[in-house]
Amino acid sequence: MADDSATVWPRGVISALVTPMGADETLAMGPLPRLIERQLHAGVAGFVVGGGTGEFGSLSITERKRLAEEVVAIVDRRVPVIVQTGALATRDALELSSHAGDIGAAGQLTVSPFGESISWEERLAFYSTLDAKSSIPIMLYNTPPAGLLTFAQIVKLAELPRVTAVKDSSGQSDLLGDLIAWSADDFGVYVGSDTLLYDAVVAGAWGAVFGTPNIVPGELAAIAHDVRQNGSTDENLAAWRRLRPFLRAMEQSPNYMSACKAMCARVGMDVGPVRAPYLPSSDAEIEELVALLEQAVA
């Protein structure tokens, strides 16, 4: 593990930004400033652009670059902006990585090629190539759609000089616990499962990366900050217990991206629809989520 590039990874809650769309499913940059400023004011520690919550699978390479440029310009180095650079082809990931470095992104969150499964040897080669040709640090993106990495594989990838963090969206508390116990001050471990935030930060995780800060940034940032400063207390545990049912319902949604966008609208952030093939949340799901959200922020 190399400690020079680990300094870009912030401690706290990193928001995986939704991607605003117009009614015709084209990119809509207009809502971005207000969406970002609201979260900055609430205390988020950074942003991921073009991640899973940002519907990167439905975006073209050109759209992903444009979106990253816009977010980097709006944030203007106030907090780190991390660009998700994973793609089906290594050449596209390298292009996105180079672009992210050129526009001033602090780092990259990179999922390995997905779709048809790839072998461990192919995944190692992918990250080794990215590491050799990138100018910015790499956060591994351990997520089920790409095939989960094992603890031993993450440790192996951490030998690459620019690989200095991991977002673990496995949902496996034992894997997350192993990563936290193994990691040092120069390797960031972030939880990608909303409902594991509290336990992860208590155990020593650097923070979290997921989409619900688009909706409840202040509540999440405050809990993470207080736990990091004071450990588990009656007060922050009570706040967590109020918020967790909403987060749990979000995780169980048939489409997390759709649910995030629907709830953004409910808090006054109209970010438009999801892009096909994704479908909007049902009225019944939205009604349930709204009720839980109202309880969480009461």
Total number of domains constituting the chain: 1
Pairing of strands 12-16, 107-110: unpaired
In a domain, 239, yes or no: no
Domain that holds residue 14: 5-231
Instruction: Give the number of C-alpha atoms closer than 13 A to the C-alpha of residue 32, restricted to the C-beta side.
Output: 24
What integer best gives the mean pLDDT of the chain?
Answer: 96
- % of the chain residues with pLDDT over 70: 98
Judged against a pLDDT cut of 70, whether residue 157 lies above it is answered with: yes
Q: State mean pLDDT over 8-36.
A: 97
Give the per-residue pLDDT at 98: 98
| Domain of residue 146, CATH code | 3.20.20.70
In a domain, 283, yes or no: no
Judged against a pLDDT cut of 50, whether residue 1 lies above it is answered with: no
In a domain, 130, yes or no: yes
Give the per-residue pLDDT at 239: 98
Q: 168, 144, 170: which is closest to 158 by C-alpha? A: 168
Q: State mean pLDDT over 235-240.
A: 98
The backbone torsions φ and ψ at residue 163, rounded to the nearest 5 degrees and listed phi first, read -85, 105
Q: State mean pLDDT over 241-249.
A: 98
Helices (H), the chain: 32-42, 61-75, 90-103, 120-133, 151-157, 173-182, 197-203, 217-230, 234-251, 256-266, 283-296
In a domain, 255, yes or no: no
In a domain, 200, yes or no: yes
Residues in Cβ contact with 103 at an 8 Å cutoff, skipping those fewer than 6 apart: 68, 69, 72
Give the per-residue pLDDT at 2: 44
Give the per-residue pLDDT at 197: 98
Question: Which tens digit of pLDDT belongs to each residue from 69-111?
Answer: 999 999 999 999 999 999 999 999 999 999 999 999 999 999 9
Judged against a pLDDT cut of 60, whether residue 3 lies above it is answered with: no
In a domain, 46, yes or no: yes
Give the per-residue pLDDT at 7: 80
Q: State mean pLDDT over 220-243.
A: 98
Give the per-residue pLDDT at 260: 98
In a domain, 293, yes or no: no
Judged against a pLDDT cut of 70, whether residue 261 lies above it is answered with: yes
Residue type at position 133:
K
In a domain, 145, yes or no: yes
For residue 277, say if its preceding peptide bond is cis, omega within 30 degrees of 0.
yes
Judged against a pLDDT cut of 80, whether residue 147 lies above it is answered with: yes
Pairing of strands 46-49, 12-16: parallel
Tokens read off for 27: 């990119």
In this prediction the pTM is 0.96
